[in-house]
Amino acid sequence: MKNRYKPNRKPLVLLFLIGFLFMSCKDSTESFNRERISINEGWKFMKYDSPEIADSLFYDLRPEVLTVNDSKAADTPATEAEKLQASKKALKPYILPTANAFIKDPSKHHTRPEGHPGTDFPLLQSNFDDNGWENVTLPHDWAIAGPFQEGPNTEVGGGMGRLPSNGIAWYRRQIDIYKTDKDKIIYLDIDGAMSYAMVWLNGHLVGGWPYGYNSFRLDLTPHINFEGINQLAIRLDNPNHSARWYPGGGLYRNVWLTKTSKVHVAHWGTTVTTSKVSKASARIGLKVQVENRSGFDTEIETITKIYTINHGTVGKQMAVMEKVTTKIQAGNTATINTTTTLENPKLWGPLPTQTPHLYRAITHISHNGVDIDTYTTDFGIRDIKFDPNQGIMVNNELIKLQGVNEHHDLGALGAAFNVSAAARKLRILKDMGVNAIRMAHNPPAPELLELTDKMGFLVIDEVFDSWKRKKTPHDFHLIFPDWYEADARAMVRRDKNHPSIVIWSYGNEVGEQYTDVEGATIGKTLSAIIKDEDPTRPTTSAMNWAKSDMPFASAMHVISLNYQGEGIRQDPIFDTVTDRIKTKPQYGPFHEKFPNKVILSSETASAASSRGVYLFPVSDMTSSPIRDGMGGDSNIKQVSAYELYAVDFGSSADKVFASLDKHPYSAGEFVWTGFDYLGEPTPYYESRNSYNGIIDLAGFPKDRYYLYQSRWRPDLPMVHILPHWNWPDRIGKTTPVHVFTSGDEVELFLNGISLGRKKKEAFTYRLRWDDVIYQPGELKAVAYKKGSFWSQTTVKTTGEPAQIAALADRNEIYADGKDLSFITIQLTDTDGLIVPTADNTIVFEVEGPGEIIATDNGDPTDMTEFPSTQRKAFNGLALVVVRSIAGKTGKITVTMESDGLKASQIELTAIQKKP
Ligand code: GAL
């Protein structure tokens, strides 16, 4: 390949200097507000078939993985990192300077070595012929289309979801730069690249960011060709064995081009704080950092106006902050602090008892009366107090955490972020009564935090799953020493203005819990870094092993326990187990040792179940481990949905509730997990996704959903029966019936005959009729609260599947090429009852301005590729996801057919998005 780009540095530098002076002069006369341009469209993508044939532009060496233990239990202690001989050819020294803006001590800043690695490499050149490459639109996850890697000893195992997320790939795109941009600074903003991103522009290595979960910015300006083509080339190198879950691969979040004046608000450069918050008034503090890259000393004026936000649009102006004049020397950054008081502020608070009101601060920077930058910061006004004897007080109301942990994948859509998919997840969680989310175990897409702000969730934003010690051979421990400070600061700087975030977490079950003072020292360092960025919020790090008398816990402001609250492996079945964590309930010792710190359970349960699968016999315990014949079946690789079963170190929901109720000072819990996620399919590593979700991978509630709802929404009249009542092989056999209700008493009927009325005892959360003898017909549960009728439900034996019913979460979607409708398919009998065992294959077709992008059914063992338009139902249900086509409005018709069943159709409408 001919290399068109030949660096000739001297004339370039000269040209650049002349341009620089010219630009700086013009800066003062031309009004300009920053532009944030989405560059998600128009990428070319190529992934090497194997690392062996890839180029040699690698970030750093990685240890060879000789033994693989894909199905390692999650609580296996982390081990020490391997020492590697640094390679001279590695590009790491060129990438490390990208971290400098996030390293406080200037003496620790990295200096870029001489030279221009890769300059002659054909893929970096604008004339390189990439016509044969795939056309992709971001957010893009290169692995989610599969195929799944089935069977033993696959390259990617069950732990990482059996999908081809590993590998080395390039993304190429030209960016639109105009002659009129000459006076501007041009940044590339990448919200997330999985992983080891290295970015070249016009053959120059600009920088990069290895950690796949943080957002980062690169300054393209010095390498921009203002008169011609500008070729971006991004190399990603996603290692296998890098995670305990499915990481996805690629430019999986939004990518932007930001054009600013030379004097502009710095990256993530505004900080809003609120204090003295009451219904009558609130003090708003705003810190604005302004960068002067004009080459001259300058003087600017800063003024900020505060508006309400109503349904996402700017409402009334509420306050104008004092105008400030500031001198900034060439090359410096100035910090401008202003405050104002808002009368009768509308407070941000979690639903349903409060409302998540938001405000917008619009900051205008001007020079000699000419606008040079406008910067928007959304925020909320809320008062958060941490009461060690009760939990978290939001605006003086105690909000017990009814939380879930969530990984970043969106089920069948993979890691590629999509706002409508994330909003659907949050709606389903909200309906269950969830009011808090722990971002396990990394910072999420920025839009997810916008949603949690708008929808009123409390959030723990978490940065790391491992530090120096490794959990998997290629996880974050490889880059921790070089990047821990930058990654910790980047999370806080990006996310600090989100009112939903209440706690920062700097680790999850890290191996350093086991290293006494050494580990505690790293913890202290990380906590201090976060506190330095944001003194207003507490820090924590989740502990599944460290105890109250160990130094590890002392660095954190909030105590986060994983599974230790209710105790770990206390059942006699574990008596002979000696090499795993065994812990008596730990709320007491931690509360005693840290009477001034709030305690919460950052992970509870890790219960497991497969939606709609019921296995016999049913345990008579409240909480049971999973074994064959005891809630599990390794032949079919499913776990019983009687919802009594948990991983060895976990507990059923019921056991967790009892423990929380016996320790009322606990701030609450984050269940592991809300939704099933790709990877970590404990206990059956042949599968593709986890069994831990309260909701399956397709978004369909398992029975546990109603158990949580009964506790978390006590005012919602509801009652739920399990199992289904289609058991032709169980006639005359004992078939336990369990009932969840927000009432306190239930009478159960089988075919009109009462099986007795039962009341919830103290510390019990379900009503059980364990000796019901199965006969087909109808189960009916009538629930009472305080003696009065509360709610009722029935479960009936159904006929054979006869027809297909379809139900869209949204019948109207925006014609923007991104919006989605999630259509639930139900296989029903002639009476319209869902057949709970139906597994017929459905074939989907779409007509009109929409496309089917994925199908699923929530079955962890289903290895049909997600984009397939044919999908077997799993226990009566399937899912089809339809996406609009940009700019095309009109009727979208989705047809569902299945052999022997009546075909069915559903109509959606794609409408124009309001500007
Ligand atoms: C925890 C861990 C989670 C997940 C979970 C599965 O120990 O923190 O990331 O692995 O176990 O049960």
Q: Cα(563) to centroid of ligand 1, in Å?
A: 10
pLDDT band at 69 (very low <50, low <70, confident <90, very high): confident
Mean pLDDT of the chain: 95
CA–CA separation, 608 and 645 (whole Å): 6
Reduced to 3 states, what is the DSSP secondary structure of residue 714?
Answer: coil
Which residue is closest in CA terms to ligand 1's atom 1? Answer: 74
Indicate which atom in ligand 1 lies nearest the CA of residue 563: 7
Q: Whose CA is nearest to atom 9 of ligand 1?
A: 74
Cβ 230 vs Cβ 167: under 8 Å:
no
Indicate if the pLDDT at residue 1 is higher than 80.
no
> What is the CB neighbour count within 10 angstroms for residue 280?
10
What beta strand segments (E) does 597-725 contain? 598-605, 624-625, 627-628, 631-633, 638-639, 645-646, 668-672, 719-722
The radius of gyration of the chain from alpha carbons, rounded to an integer in Å, stands at: 28
CA distance 779 to 340: 62
Per-residue pLDDT at 842? 98
Index of the ligand 1 atom closest to the CA of residue 544: 7
**Cβ proximity of 736 and 703 under 8 Å:** no
For 247-295, write each residue's pLDDT tens digit: 999 999 999 999 999 999 999 999 999 999 999 999 999 999 999 999 9
Q: Return the best residue to mutate from 509, 652, 676 for the ligand 1 pocket (most ligand atoms within 8 A of CB).
A: 509
Ligand 1 surroundings by CB, under 6 angstroms? 74-75, 244, 440, 508-509, 544, 562, 603, 606, 647, 672, 680, 682, 692
Rounded (to 5) percent helix, strand, coil in the chain: 15, 35, 50
Angle at 554 between CA 548 and CA 560, to 5 degrees: 65
Distance 650 CA to ligand 1 centre (A): 9
Residue 21 has pLDDT above 60, yes or no: no
The backbone torsions φ and ψ at residue 39, rounded to the nearest 5 degrees and listed phi first, read -120, 45
Q: Ligand 1 pocket test: pick from 466, 544, 583, 606 the residue with the most ligand atoms within 8 Å of its Cβ.
A: 606
Cα(892) to centroid of ligand 1, in Å?
Answer: 41
Q: Dump pLDDT digits (tens) for 805-830.
A: 999 999 999 999 999 999 999 999 99
Out of 406, 462, 485, 509, pick the active-site residue.
Answer: 509
The CA dihedral of 562, 567, 569, 573, to the nearest 10 degrees, is -150
Cis bond upstream, residue 683 (ω within 30): yes
pLDDT tens-digit readout, 192-222: 999 999 999 999 999 999 999 999 999 999 9
**CA dist., res. 190 & res. 490, Å (int):** 13
Q: Residue 492: enclosing H or E segment and its boundaries?
A: helix 480-495
Nearest to 702 by CA among 859, 468, 829, 844: 859
Q: What angle is formed at CA 657 by the lines to CA 651 and CA 661, rounded to 5 degrees?
A: 135
What was the pLDDT predicted at 400? Answer: 98
pLDDT at 5 over 60: no
Residue 276, burial from CB neighbour count under 10 angstroms (0-12, 13-18, 19+): exposed
Ligand 1, closest atom to CA 509?
Answer: 8
Q: 438 alpha carbon to ligand 1 midpoint, in Å?
A: 13
- The angle, 0 to 180 degrees and rounded to 10, between the axes of the packed helices 516-533 and 480-495 is 30
pLDDT at 176 over 70: yes
- Nearest atom in ligand 1 to 75's CA: 7
- Report the pLDDT value the prediction gives residue 256, as an integer from 0 to 100: 98
Protein residue closest via CA to atom 12 of ligand 1? 606
C-alpha 530 to ligand 1 mean position (Å):
24
CA of 75 from ligand 1 middle (Å) equals 7
Rounded distance between C-alpha atoms, residue 143 and residue 688, angstroms: 13
> Which residue's CA is minimally distant from atom 4 of ligand 1?
74
Sketch out the chain's domains with CATH numbers: 11-28+263-379 (2.60.40.10), 35-254 (2.60.120.260), 721-796 (2.60.40.10), 803-911 (2.60.40.10)
Does the pLDDT of residue 139 top 80, yes or no?
Answer: yes
Lowest mean pLDDT among 29-38, 166-175, 469-478, 497-506: 29-38
Instruction: Ligand 1, residue 606: give the atom nearest the CA.
Output: 12
Establish whether 603 is a catalytic residue: yes
* DSSP conformation class of 794: E
Cis previous bond, 441, omega within 30: yes
* Spatial distance between the Cα atoms of 452 and 447, rounded to a whole number of angstroms: 9
pLDDT (0 to 100) of residue 22: 35
Give the model confidence (pLDDT) of 729-772 as tens digits: 999 999 999 999 999 999 999 999 999 999 999 999 999 999 99
Burial degree of 111 (CB within 10 A; 0-12, 13-18, 19+): exposed
Distance 375 CA to ligand 1 centre (A): 39
Structure tokens at 523: 């913890």
Which one is catalytic: 291, 533, 603, 686?
603
| 566 tagged catalytic | no
Return the residue whose CA atom lies nearest to atom 2 of ligand 1.
Answer: 74
Output the CA 691–ligand 1 centroid distance in Å.
12
pLDDT in tens, 519-568: 999 999 999 999 999 999 999 999 999 999 999 999 899 999 999 999 99
Pocket test for ligand 1, best of 603, 675, 690 (most atoms within 8 A of CB): 603
Grade residue 86 by pLDDT with cuts at 50, 70 and 90.
low
Residue 864 CA, ligand 1 centroid: distance in Å: 26
Residue type, position 445, single letter: A
Q: Is 235 helix (H, G, I), strand (E, B) or coil?
A: strand
What Cα–Cα distance (Å) separates residue 304 from each residue in 262, 264, 293, 494?
20, 14, 22, 20
Q: Which residue has the higher pLDDT, 336 or 7?
A: 336
651 CA → ligand 1 middle, Å: 13
Residue 376 φ/ψ, nearest 5 degrees:
-110, 135
| Total number of residues shown for the chain | 915
DSSP character string of 259-277: EE-SEEEEEEEEEEEEES-
Best residue for ligand 1 mutational test, from 160, 407, 680 (most atoms within 8 Å of Cβ): 680
Cα torsion 97, 102, 105, 109 to 10°: value is: 0
CB 856 within 8 A of CB 871: yes
Ligand 1, pocket-test mutation among 70, 71, 72, 75, most atoms within 8 A of CB: 75
- Does residue 246 carry a pLDDT above 60? yes
Residue nearest to atom 11 of ligand 1 (CA): 74
pLDDT in tens, 841-870: 999 999 999 999 999 999 999 999 999 999
Report which protein residue has its CA nearest ligand 1's atom 5.
74
- Does pLDDT of 84 surpass 90? no
DSSP 313: E
Could you give the strand order of the β-sheet that contains 850-856, starting from the edge strand earlier in sequence?
A: 803-808, 820-828, 877-884, 850-856
Name the band, by pLDDT with cuts 50, 70 and 90, for residue 894. very high
The Å distance, Cα 239 to ligand 1 centre, comes to 21
Average pLDDT over residues 47-53: 92
Separation between Cα atoms, residue 703 and residue 168, nearest integer Å: 41
pLDDT in tens, 333-342: 999 999 999 9
DSSP letter string, 504-531: EEEEES-GGGGSHHHHHHHHHHHHHHHH
